[in-house]
Amino acid sequence: MDTPPLILGSTSRYRRELLERLRLPFTVVAPQVDETPAPGETPEALALRLALAKAQAVAAAHPQAIVIGSDQVADLAGEPIGKPGTHERAREQLQRMSGREVVFQTAVAVARADTGFARVLLAPVRVRFRTLGDAEIEHYLRAEQPYDCAGSAKSEALGIALLDAIESDDPTALVGLPLIRTCALLREAGLDPLAA
């Protein structure tokens, strides 16, 4: 039986780089999904809904493929904190998160239209931010420009200096694609990364 093609339904270069670690051939397709939160939607529910919607949207157009979708929402005391987009918004986000715990709700979904398989898992990451001074925040933002990262925190680089602790059972979840859960879902969908 032929191995079905694998597609990453994402425009994130971080997710693409993480998926490359599995040494599986894959292509990238941008999902066309409205990412606007529903009224009253929790960060956890938003991440789960968007990850599944991204996987299913791409799977509908590529029914013979196994499609991975993922989403991450920073959760500050129940409030979703998205990608800042600008320097000013990034500064405001980091000032608000200074000295506090933020849960990065990272969800991954795998969908396969030809078999009807669709499943989503959550990999929450608890992050404790140090108490940050304005000069530290400014130095970090000028060096990293993390305007495309949820919560302005890029832990795989200088952003690690913003933190006191990271708690997670899936070590790549904070970067945006929890690979342990991704592998589990791929196996369920019929693609074992160790047998491909």
Tell me the per-residue pLDDT of 3-28, one tens digit each, with 9 for 90 and over: 899 999 998 888 999 999 999 999 99
110 within a domain of the structure (yes/no): yes
pLDDT score at 82: 84
What angle do helix axes 179-189 and 13-20 make, rounded to 10 degrees?
A: 70
User: Domain containing 72: what range?
Assistant: 6-189
155 within a domain of the structure (yes/no): yes
| 123-152: pLDDT as tens digits | 999 999 999 999 999 999 999 999 988 889
Mean pLDDT of the chain: 94
Asked if the model's pLDDT at residue 33 lies above 60, the reply is yes
| 110-122: pLDDT as tens digits | 999 999 999 999 9
Cross-strand partners of 162: none
* Residue 1 banded pLDDT, cuts 50, 70, 90: low
- CATH classification of the domain holding 71: 3.90.950.10
pLDDT score at 2: 78
Q: How far apart are CA 140 and CA 182, in angstroms?
A: 31
111 within a domain of the structure (yes/no): yes
| 67-114: pLDDT as tens digits | 999 999 999 999 998 889 999 999 999 999 999 999 999 999 999 999
Q: How many domains does the chain have?
A: 1
130 within a domain of the structure (yes/no): yes
Q: Both tokens of residue 77?
A: 């005391």
| 151-194: pLDDT as tens digits | 898 888 899 999 999 999 999 999 999 999 999 999 999 999 99
Mean pLDDT of 21-40: 94
Q: How far apart are CA 51 and CA 123, in angstroms?
A: 12
Catalytic residues: 71
pTM: 0.91
92 within a domain of the structure (yes/no): yes
1 within a domain of the structure (yes/no): no
pLDDT score at 148: 87
